[in-house]
Amino acid sequence: MMLKIYLKDIAYMLGSIVVGIFLFTVLNYFNILSDKVMNFMKILLSVGAFGFAGWYLAKNTKKRGLIEGLKIGGIVLAFFLIISLIFLSSKFEIKNLLYYLILLASSVCGGIIAKQKKED
């Protein structure tokens, strides 16, 4: 049962990232968005998707939101890290670590917010 919730949460998160990046890419292709705005929107979309994933998972469980946000963020970030190290030829840099930490903090904040709203 719990695995089904995790997979559904990961599917929502990755689906929203893929659809959002596709829409922003189309807007960038037609010169509606500049490159700087495009890069900012990709980061904002990723942070929002991780926050939503932490919120959704914490809302549907009875455990602490902090732990649930850490779990879902850690699972997806480990997957992203493995994929980027295996398939991309870029080196792991400090800016990547900072980006991953921001995404992890976003999922933790989403989990905490969900538990706070649920208790009220």
Q: What is the pTM of this model?
A: 0.85
Whole-angstrom Cα distance, residue 28 to residue 17?
16
Please write the tens of the pLDDT for every residue from 8-59: 888 888 899 999 999 999 998 898 888 899 999 999 999 999 999 889 888 8
Size (the chain), residues: 120
Q: Can you give the residue range of the structural domain that contains 24?
A: 2-119
Domain count, the chain: 1
Please write the tens of the pLDDT for every residue from 90-112: 777 899 889 999 999 999 999 99
Whole-angstrom Cα distance, residue 72 to residue 90?
25
Closest CA to 8 of 60, 43, 48: 60
